[in-house]
Structure 1
Amino acid sequence: MTHMTRRTALASMGAALATPALVSRASAAEVTLRLHHFLPPVAPMHTSFFEVWAAELAEASEGAIEVQIFPAMQLGGKPPQLADQVRNGICDIAWTLPVYTPDRFPVAETMSNPFMVTNAEKTSVALHNLMDEFGGDEYRGMKPLAYHTHDGGKLHTRDAPVLSAADLQGLKLRAPNQSTGDMLAGFGAEVVFFPVTEMVVGLSSGVIDGCCLPYEVVPAFKLQELTSFTSEPAAGARGLYANSFSLLMNEARYEGLSDDLRGVIDAASGIELSRRIGKQFDGFEAFGRGVVEKHGNTIEEIPVEEINRWREAASPVHEAWIAKLNDRGHDGAAIMARANELLDAG
C-alpha cells in the first residue's frame, strides 16, 4: 500500500468492511519487533516509555506491528554488546549507551563529557541535532530512532557529602564514563568504571564509597538505601555529566517493512521522540529525588563558584576529546563548539 496508509484505506471502505478487517489484523501482527535493553522491568524507562511506545506503534499500525520487549538483557549478552546485537539482527531494536563501547561512537559520546548537560529535554534535542549535523556515519547498519540523555548526574556517597574538589581526594567512586572519570581522578578520586547493573554489589561490598549518577537511577537499584548523602550542582550551573543514549533499529529490518509500516516507525521516531524521552527523564529525575528525600538522606548543594572551578579544571578533558575526534577524521573543535552552542541556545 504505497500511497495510502492503512488507516486511510480502511476509512475509505466503510464500516461494514472495516470492522472485520480491524479484528482480523489485530488478532495476528504482521511484524514482530524484538526490543532489547539492560534495565530491570521495574525501571521507569521500561514501564513509562518502552511499554507505552510499543502500544502506540501497535495502535498506529492497526495491530500490524507488535513490539516484544526484553528487559534486563533477557536475550543474552551484556550491555556493551547491544549495538552489535541490533546491527547483527539478534534483536530488531536496542537501547544502548555509546560509553559502554568507549571511543566507538565518538560524536554520540561527546555529550557524555563533563558539564555538557543542562536538563534532559534540552540536552536530548541538542544531541539529536549534533548527530544530524556531524554523526550520520557512526551507526552504519543501524537506523537511529532517537538520541537522548538523562539529567545531570549527582554524587551519591555513603559516609560524607562532596562539596569541594578536596572532598574527592581518595574517594573510591564508580564513574559513569571515561571522560567524567578522568575529571574525578584529576581531583584525586580513585575511579572505577563498570555498568550500572553491577554497581549495587560495589556499594554493598564497600568496593566503592559512592557513585556519580542521576537521581532517576536511584529507585530501580534502591541506591537510597546504599548511600546517605547526595551532592548536586547548584541550580543554574551545568550538570556534572550526562550519558548519551541511542535507540537503534536494525537497518535491514526497517528497510524490509512495507511503505506504510516504515511510515509508522518514522512518525514515532526522530527529534520529537528524542525531546519526548528527554522530557520523561526530567520527570524520572524529579521522582528519584523525591525517593532520596523521603528516605531521609542528606542532600547538599555544590556552590556555583565551585562548579565553575571544576569546569575550568575539566578543560584538559575537553581538549583531549577534541583531539580524539580529530583523530577520527572529525573537526573536534567545531563539534565541541556546536555542542556548547546548542546547549546555551534558548
Structure 2
Amino acid sequence: MKLSTFAFAASLAVTATVTGAQELKFANFTPPFHTVNASVIEKLNADLSQETGGAVTVRGYHGGELGAGPVEQYVRAVQGVADITWGLPGYTSSQFEKTMIVELPGVVPEGKCGCDALWDAIDEISGEFPGTIPVGLWTSEPNIMIMRDKVIRTPADLQGLKIRVAGATAAEVATALGATPVQMPINQVYNALETGLIDGVFTGSSTLDDFKLDEVADSFTIGAPLGRLSFFAVMGEGSYAALSDEAKAAVDAAIGREVSTSAETAWNATGEAGVARARQDAKNTFVDLTPEEAAAFAELVMPVTESYVAAVGGEAALAAMQK
C-alpha cells in the first residue's frame, strides 16, 4: 500500500466535522484499567482538549476493539486503522534494533529515566519509526523474575527453564543466564504460566497489577540486572496531516517528553504497588538479592549489552542515551 493511500485511510480515521471538531482514535490492546489509559490516553485527551477548547479530543478504544493483536499495533497507525497506537518495540525487534538498546542491562544511567534516554537519542533512532510521528517513548521499571514453582537465587537455578521474553534483547539476557527464551505477547503470559507452557517471565513488576500475573506465579526474584522493557506511542503521518494547523500545533505541544514521563512515572508506581500487594500473599516467595548475589548475574549478562550494541551499530545511540 502506498503512503498516499495510508494518508487517505488515516484521514478517514480522524473524526472531523465542518466546524473543525476532531476525535483521535487511540487503539489500546489492553483493558481500560491498564496503566497506559490514565497516564497516556487520558492525559493526551485532557491536554489536547484544554489546548483546543474541546475541538480536538482523544478516545481510547480498549481491549483490542480496533484490532486484537499487540504485534500489529504499529502498522495500525501507519494504515490509519487508528490515529494513535501504543506497543512494544520488542514485538517487532528487527525494526527497532537501536531503540531497544535502552532495554539492555546497564544502559540507563543511575538516576536517569528511560524516557529521557530515549528522547536524548531520538536523532539516532527516529529512522526506526517510518510512517509515524513518535508521541511517547518510555521504559518500564527494571525487570524482575516472575516464576511459577521455581525459586531463583543464583544463575544456576535458571538452567534449562523456559522464560518468556518480550523481544530480542531480553532473549539474549535469558540465554546468557542459561535459560531458554520463549517470545510471546504479554497478554498470553497468564495462560502460559498457568498451564506450565513457561516456567517464568522476565518483565516489569507492573504486570502484577496490569496483567494479574501474581495470580498464577508464586516466586519473585528482585535485584538481578535484567534490563527493562521499552514502549512507544505513535501517530500515523496520515492522521497528523489530516489535522488543521491549530490541531497540529496542539498535538506538537502535547507529545514528547512530558507524556513519556507521565507514562514512565505511572509504570513505576504500578510496579511498586504490585510488589507491595504481592508481598502480603502468604503463597508467594520473594528473593531480594544482595549486591553480591546480583553480581553473579551481572557477570553473565553485562557482556550481552556490549555485543548487542556492536552488532547493530548502535554506539552513537548508546552514547546519546547515556549522556
Which TM bucket (shorter chain)? 0.7 to 0.9
- Offset at residue 164 of structure 1 (A): 1.1
What one-letter code is carried by the residue in structure 2 that aligns with 1:182? Answer: E
Which residue number corresponds to residue 59 of structure 1? 50
Q: 235, 249, 253: which is aligned to 2:235?
A: 249
Which residue number corresponds to residue 269 of structure 1? 255
Q: Does 1:167 align with 2:157?
A: yes
Which residue number corresponds to residue 22 of structure 1? none
CA contact (8 A) 2:101 2:309 kept: no
Q: TM-score if structure 1 supplies the norm length? A: 0.81
Q: Does 1:293 align with 2:279?
A: yes
Does the residue aligned with 1:137 lie in a helix, a strand or coil?
helix
Q: Does 1:335 align with 2:317?
A: yes
Q: Does 1:157 align with 2:143?
A: no
Q: More relative contact order in 1 or in 2 (CA 8 Å, sep 6+)?
A: 2
- Offset at residue 33 of structure 1 (A): 0.8
CA 1:295–1:56: 2 relative to 1, 3 Å: farther
Distance 1:163 1:281 in 2: 26
Q: 291, 309, 319: which is aligned to 1:322?
A: 309
Which residue number corresponds to residue 170 of structure 2? 180
Which residue number corresponds to residue 329 of structure 1? none
Which residue number corresponds to residue 20 of structure 1? none
Distance 2:214 2:24 in 1: 35
Which residue number corresponds to residue 291 of structure 2? 304
Distance 1:49 1:97 in 2: 15
- Offset at residue 93 of structure 1 (A): 0.3
What one-letter code is carried by the residue in structure 1 that aligns with 2:184? Answer: F
Distance 2:295 2:320 in 1: 20
CA contact (8 A) 1:103 1:109 kept: no
Distance 2:111 2:265 in 1: 6
Does the residue aligned with 1:295 lie in a helix, a strand or coil?
coil
CA contact (8 A) 1:118 1:152 kept: no
CA 1:179–1:241: 2 relative to 1, 3 Å: same
1:33-57 C-alpha deviation (Å, 9 max, x unpaired): 1101222222122244422432332
CA 1:120–1:245: 2 relative to 1, 3 Å: farther
1:95-134 to 2 correspondence within 5 Å? 95-117=86-108, 122-131=113-122, 133-134=123-124
Distance 1:39 1:158 in 2: 23
Does the residue aligned with 1:135 lie in a helix, a strand or coil?
helix
- Offset at residue 60 of structure 1 (A): 2.3
Does the residue aligned with 1:136 lie in a helix, a strand or coil?
helix
CA contact (8 A) 1:121 1:282 kept: no
- Identity score, percent: 27
Does the residue aligned with 2:222 lie in a helix, a strand or coil?
strand
Q: TM-score if structure 2 supplies the norm length? A: 0.87
Does the residue aligned with 2:280 lie in a helix, a strand or coil?
helix
Structure 2 residue ranges without an equivalent (≥5): 1-15
Distance 1:68 1:29 in 2: 16
Which residue number corresponds to residue 136 of structure 2? 146
What one-letter code is carried by the residue in structure 2 that aligns with 1:300? Answer: V
Structure 1 residue ranges without an equivalent (≥5): 1-24, 327-331
Q: Would you say how many aligned residue pairs link Structure 1 and Structure 2?
A: 305
Does the residue aligned with 1:181 lie in a helix, a strand or coil?
helix
